[in-house]
Amino acid sequence: MKLSNLPKIKGNTKRKIRRGRGAASHGRYCGFGMNGQQSRSGRTKSRHFEGGNLPTFRKIPMLKGFRSLNPKEYATVNLRDLERRFPQDTEITIGLLIEEGLVRNDKLPVKLLGEGELTRSMTIKVHAASKSAREKIEAADAKLEIIGESE
């Protein structure tokens, strides 16, 4: 069953009143009142109009600070996850991370974050790495290769 297939219930909808269109148009002012903005032709007000009061959106202070219009998004992986999942001397690529389920969205670049410790030596190939992750990788005698970095 779809909404378009439902039968119309008699008396459920009313006909729109045509105002100001000739002799039978609901009295002298057609339901618009005597004077004022609402009685004129083309009578529309903006959604933010509050009867001449200062609109709410102008009362609220503007957001402070900087927000990038196109922020760079990454799929993130932590060092603790690499420590748990991979043995010594493994070459970790993005394909391997996707296979293991550490990266769900394969369309985003992968960034390595420094949460946890790394005790094994391994080669890690990712698009970006945080400063703390780089320091911990160097301390563990592991190798980090940044993919797509211009040399």
Q: Which amino acid is at 37?
A: Q
Instruction: Report yes or no on 21 lying in a domain.
Output: no
Instruction: Report yes or no on 26 lying in a domain.
Output: no
For 144, list phi and psi in degrees, rounded to 5: -120, 125
Q: Give CA 10 to chain center in angstroms.
A: 44
Instruction: Report yes or no on 62 lying in a domain.
Output: no
The pLDDT value recorded for residue 151 is 44
CA distance 99 to 81: 14
Instruction: Report yes or no on 58 lying in a domain.
Output: no
pLDDT band at 149 (very low <50, low <70, confident <90, very high): low
Of residues 75 and 18, the one with the higher pLDDT is 75
CATH number, domain with residue 113: 3.100.10.10
Instruction: Say if residue 150's pLDDT is above 60.
Output: no
pLDDT digits (tens, 9 = 90+) for 67-105: 888 889 999 999 999 999 999 999 999 999 999 999 999
Instruction: Report yes or no on 46 lying in a domain.
Output: no
Instruction: Report yes or no on 141 lying in a domain.
Output: yes
Q: Please count the structural domains in the chain.
A: 1
Say whether 78 sits in a helix, a strand or coil.
strand
What mean pLDDT do residues 135-140 have?
Answer: 93
Instruction: Report yes or no on 130 lying in a domain.
Output: yes
CA distance 116 to 120: 13
The pLDDT value recorded for residue 48 is 85
The pLDDT value recorded for residue 28 is 84
pLDDT digits (tens, 9 = 90+) for 22-64: 877 778 888 888 888 888 888 788 888 888 899 888 888 877 7
Instruction: Report yes or no on 138 lying in a domain.
Output: yes
Range of the domain at 141: 75-146
